[in-house]
């Protein structure tokens, strides 16, 4: 069962308050990937204006008619051959995870004169099947993005292992961000966003709890 936008927002507000954080500290990113429009429409009509998608083409098809009304975030892996489209389409790319992609994004930003805000994805659980730099590589990677490629890094993003307590992963991400002077933390999904908020999330990516199972 999906919850209404109002219900998710009040859970976010309660978790933010409980963590002693300012009321506007946490942004809801509504993850609309693979959802039919009839599931998205009530959320859009309810005033939600920040959406996350994990594929460039799907995002383009779904959101082009509404593009000037929403903030659109890429939360799935980005292939370098899609970087041009991604830079043209997204306000935020949360999945910067390798030097080759940093280089291609920097070239596209230069060419298009349009710069999506960037998050570095960190594979906190060091899972082989998951994208992201390892925690051990994170400092050097953030430094290379800034220094070598001239990219501003707005935040870090992680997806903890499905079968583990997510809190240590969220806290690790917060620590990496703090020591690198990175401001934002994209962490927490349907099953664990309240824990993420307690650990310092500045945005939570909620899909199935809001829209129903995919």
Ligand X SMILES: *Cc1c(COP(=O)(O)O)cnc(C)c1O
Contacting positions for ligand X (CB under 6 A) = 31, 33, 54, 75-76, 159, 189-191, 205-209
CB-nearer residue toward ligand X: 106 or 132: 132
Shortest separation between residue 9's beta carbon and ligand X, angstroms = 15
Is 162:124 a contact under the CB 8 Å cutoff?
no
Shortest separation between residue 79's beta carbon and ligand X, angstroms = 15
Q: Residue 50 gets which letter from DSSP?
A: E
CB-nearer residue toward ligand X: 94 or 108: 94
- Give the whole-angstrom CA distance, residue 11 versus residue 189: 13
Residue nearest to ligand X (CB): 207
DSSP-based three-state secondary structure for 159: coil
Is 69:94 a contact under the CB 8 Å cutoff?
no
Shortest separation between residue 203's beta carbon and ligand X, angstroms = 10
Q: What are phi and psi of 28, to 5 degrees?
A: -90, 120
CB-nearer residue toward ligand X: 119 or 141: 119
Is 163:127 a contact under the CB 8 Å cutoff?
no
Report which of 156, 166, 170 is spatially closest to residue 199, judged by C-alpha positions. Answer: 170
Shortest separation between residue 174's beta carbon and ligand X, angstroms = 17
Shortest separation between residue 29's beta carbon and ligand X, angstroms = 8
CB-nearer residue toward ligand X: 130 or 146: 130
CB-nearer residue toward ligand X: 75 or 201: 75
């Amino acid at each position: 069962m999906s919850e209404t936008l109002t219900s998710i927002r009040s859970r976010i507000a309660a978790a933010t308050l409980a963590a002693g954080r300012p009321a506007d500290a946490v942004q809801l990113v509504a993850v609309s990937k693979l959802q039919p429009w009839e599931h998205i429409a009530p959320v859009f009509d309810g005033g939600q204006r920040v959406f996350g998608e994990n594929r460039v083409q799907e995002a383009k098809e779904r959101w082009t008619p509404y593009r000037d009304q929403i903030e659109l975030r890429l939360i799935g892996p980005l292939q370098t051959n899609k970087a041009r489209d991604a830079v043209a389409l997204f306000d935020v790319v949360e999945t910067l995870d390798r030097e080759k992609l940093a280089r291609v994004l920097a070239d596209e930003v230069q060419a298009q004169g349009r710069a999506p805000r960037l998050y570095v994805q960190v594979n906190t659980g060091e899972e082989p099947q998951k994208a992201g730099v390892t925690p051990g590589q994170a400092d050097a990677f953030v430094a290379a993005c800034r220094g070598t490629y001239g990219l501003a890094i707005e935040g870090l993003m992680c997806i903890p292992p499905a079968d583990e307590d997510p809190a240590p992963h969220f806290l690790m991400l917060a620590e990496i961000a703090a020591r690198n002077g990175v401001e934002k933390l994209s962490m927490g999904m349907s099953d664990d966003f309240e824990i993420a908020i307690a650990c310092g999330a500045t945005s939570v990516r909620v899909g199935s709890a809001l829209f129903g199972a995919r």
